[in-house]
Structure 1
Amino acid sequence: MGIDETAERVIPFACEQVAAYAMDWRHDAEWTQGIREATLTREADTGGFGVGAEVTRTAYFVGKRIDYVLRVAAYEPPTLLDMVSVAGPMPMHVTYSFAPHARGTLARIRVRGDTANYYRPAAPLMARKVRSSLVKDLRDLERQLSTTPQR
């Protein structure tokens, strides 16, 4: 048993602008629910952020502190950022995708997680909470883009 939740939203900004902001780990705490801190803890083999890089996130989920590490599995700006957990409370896979849309950008976040062990009894509650968080993430992403001076 597991979680497989997706949320999407049309954001009225260019795909490159939305993706550049959302794919930059330094902004994670500004728009991602529960994340208080994100740190690049391993650079990509080519340096900086890219495939193989690892970001450690400190989050709070249902009132509990959770530290987890996501490794970049695919990085194709401005359309795709795919990450898998390599440390944390449960295996998970997070995919951000961005596509041009007539009204701006279709932004989509998908989270898959394995709740087979410790979290199995809470899986339905966790799925609802994840879905709610993803909807809020996309709303907050749009808000951040609306209020952040563009470079």
Structure 2
Amino acid sequence: MTIDVSVARVIPLSPERVAEYAMDWRHDADWTQGIRTAELTREADGGGFGVGAEVTRTAFFLGRRIDYVLRVAAHDFPRLLDMVSVAGPMPMHVTYSFEPSPDGTLARIRVQGGSGGFYRLAAPLLARQVRSSLRKDLRDLERRLTHHTD
């Protein structure tokens, strides 16, 4: 079974403000469920963060530690950050998009992936858990940006 989960939330700030924070890997552990650490382990070809850069994340999901590496496949600030896993327990594709909305920014996260090994057995639970986690991610992103100066 493959997983394809998408969630969206309107955040009452400009796409530039939302993307500036959300697209910065240094903030991943602050607003993304389960992520304990995130580290830029490969810079983009032109240096820094962009297409080709890799971020290594350590997370805990369903009681298990997961180490995985996401490579930036597309980076179009402030509209889109698209990443694919190049190492980890299962294939994964994560897309963050930020579009102008009358009330601020329509922030969307989509996670697509195959469920292998342990995760195959837990696929229905996994999809529900991913959806719940992504909803919390967007809620926490909004809270950080509207109630916290960074």
Q: TM-score range by the shorter chain?
A: over 0.9
**C-alpha RMSD of the superposition:** 1.0
Question: C-alpha separation between the residues in 2 aligned to 1:81 and 1:7?
Answer: 15
Number of aligned positions between the proteins: 150
Contact 1:75 1:81 in 2 (8 A): yes
In the alignment, is residue 19 of structure 1 matched against residue 22 of structure 2? Answer: no
Correspondence list, 1:1-150, <5 A: 1-149=1-149
Question: C-alpha separation between the residues in 2 aligned to 1:59 and 1:144?
Answer: 20
Equivalent AA in structure 2 for residue 83 of structure 1 = M
Equivalent AA in structure 2 for residue 114 of structure 1 = G
Aligned-pair identity (%) = 73
Unaligned runs of 5+ residues in structure 2 are none
How far has the Cα of 1:146 moved from its partner?
A: 1.4
Question: C-alpha separation between the residues in 2 aligned to 1:29 and 1:79?
Answer: 21
Equivalent AA in structure 2 for residue 92 of structure 1 = M
How far has the Cα of 1:82 moved from its partner?
A: 0.1
How far has the Cα of 1:121 moved from its partner?
A: 1.7
Equivalent AA in structure 2 for residue 25 of structure 1 = W
**1:10-47, CA deviations, whole angstroms, 9 ceiling, x for partnerless residues?**
00011100011000000000000000110000000000
How far has the Cα of 1:116 moved from its partner?
A: 4.9
Equivalent AA in structure 2 for residue 110 of structure 1 = R
Contact 2:89 2:116 in 1 (8 A): no
How far has the Cα of 1:118 moved from its partner?
A: 4.5
Normalised to the residue count of structure 1, the TM-score between the two structures is: 0.96
How far has the Cα of 1:136 moved from its partner?
A: 0.2
Normalised to the residue count of structure 2, the TM-score between the two structures is: 0.97
Question: C-alpha separation between the residues in 2 aligned to 1:128 and 1:102?
Answer: 30
The alignment partner of 1:44 has SS state of: coil
**1:63-105, CA deviations, whole angstroms, 9 ceiling, x for partnerless residues?**
1111100000000000000000000000000000000000000
Unaligned runs of 5+ residues in structure 1 are none
